[in-house]
Amino acid sequence: MQAIRHYLLAVQFFTRIPVTGRLADWVGFSPTMLRASSAHFPGVGWLVATVAALTYAALHLGLGAHPFGAAVAAVGCTIATVLLTGGFHEDGLADVADGLGGSYDRERALDIMKDSRIGAFGAMALVLGLLAKCCLLALLGTHSLGAAVAALVGGHVLSRWWPLWLVRCLPHVGDTAQSKSKPLADQISNAALAAAGLWCLAPLGLVWQMQSVLFVAMAVLCSALAAGHMARRLAQRLQGFTGDGLGAVQQLGEAGFYLGAALALGPLAQGSRW
């Protein structure tokens, strides 16, 4: 029952799914509970992936062989996930881009990231990030509906595991009094990290069954490289992580998964010429 409470707290924190009334009273809240709920962050990805996959499949099948069917499905499922999560991670990506792009000074970059207004760098990152995900999902959909659905399932779950490694490896920086991610800053236990990893096994196994070993391997590799690049930038520029940084790592990890999946189905992977 305690694990269920922690999972529901993670759902409440990272989605717009209402956990209110008596249910919220039963779940409760404390910094210790939020820290424990980190083990279930990839489990929240199960919910997001389910909504994304169902939306994509409904639009893809509904539009049939229309030339823009896959593109419409990609945009539609992206809208669905943004509505479900409130754009929580996308907002983090925009803030990090504004901060790192707006100043080379560490303290000034942190101040910019706390500003609720979006700047030029944030707008560019947000537009390009959403465009990249939509284009890659559309590309996968032109190959097959199964490829796009598999990428959505694996991408949404695995990308929510990478931020936990950031918390594990780097200190929390910024305004700790105002940060929603501060309860995570006291480190994530090995048990929580392992439990979060277990949430990823079933989706990745499903992706393997739906596609191939190469599909999974390429997708996981590109996701890890993309998330690792963002983590490295945060370590170099900020010497730590913020809540916005965790969102940016998730977004790059998700897009990286789609890219790897697309590469696994591309001409080079199939042994043909460009």
* Contact between 84 and 48 (Cβ < 8 Å): yes
Is the pTM higher than 0.85? The answer reads yes
Residue 114 is encoded by which pair of tokens?
Answer: 């706390």
Mind listing the pLDDT tens digit of every residue in the chain (274 residues)? 788 888 999 998 899 998 888 888 888 877 778 888 888 999 999 999 999 999 999 999 999 878 899 999 999 999 999 999 999 999 999 999 999 999 999 999 999 999 989 999 999 999 999 999 999 999 999 999 999 999 999 999 999 999 999 999 999 997 655 555 556 656 788 888 999 999 999 999 999 999 999 999 999 999 999 999 999 999 999 999 999 999 999 999 999 999 999 999 986 555 543 3
Establish if 201 belongs to a structural domain. yes
Establish if 60 belongs to a structural domain. yes
What's the pLDDT at 48? 97
Query: How many structural domains are present in the chain?
Result: 1
Cβ-proximal residues to 69 (8 Å cutoff; 6+ apart), any chain? 59, 60, 63, 141
Residue 165 is encoded by which pair of tokens?
Answer: 């490694």
User: The domain containing residue 198 runs over which residues?
Assistant: 44-262
Establish if 223 belongs to a structural domain. yes
Residue 74 is encoded by which pair of tokens?
Answer: 């990609």
CA 102, CA 98: separation in Å to the nearest integer? 5
CA 140, CA 259: separation in Å to the nearest integer? 9
DSSP 57-73: HHHHHHHTT-TTHHHHH
What's the pLDDT at 2? 81
Residue 46 is encoded by which pair of tokens?
Answer: 């199960």
**Cα separation values, 114 from 123, 126, 217, 250, 267, Å:** 15, 17, 37, 19, 44
Query: What's phi and psi for 172, nearest 5 deg?
Result: -80, 135
Establish if 74 belongs to a structural domain. yes
Establish if 36 belongs to a structural domain. no
Establish if 268 belongs to a structural domain. no
Establish if 83 belongs to a structural domain. yes
Residue 96 is encoded by which pair of tokens?
Answer: 């990090």
CA 31, CA 44: separation in Å to the nearest integer? 19
Establish if 103 belongs to a structural domain. yes
Q: Is 149 left (phi over 0), alpha (psi -120 to 50) or beta?
A: alpha
Query: What's phi and psi for 30, nearest 5 deg?
Result: -165, 155
Residue 28 is encoded by which pair of tokens?
Answer: 């409760």
What's the pLDDT at 188? 82
* Contact between 74 and 135 (Cβ < 8 Å): yes
Please choose, from the candidates 249, 89, 79, the residue with its C-alpha nearest in 3D space to the C-alpha of residue 180.
89
**Cα separation values, 33 from 6, 56, 156, 244, Å:** 7, 34, 23, 21
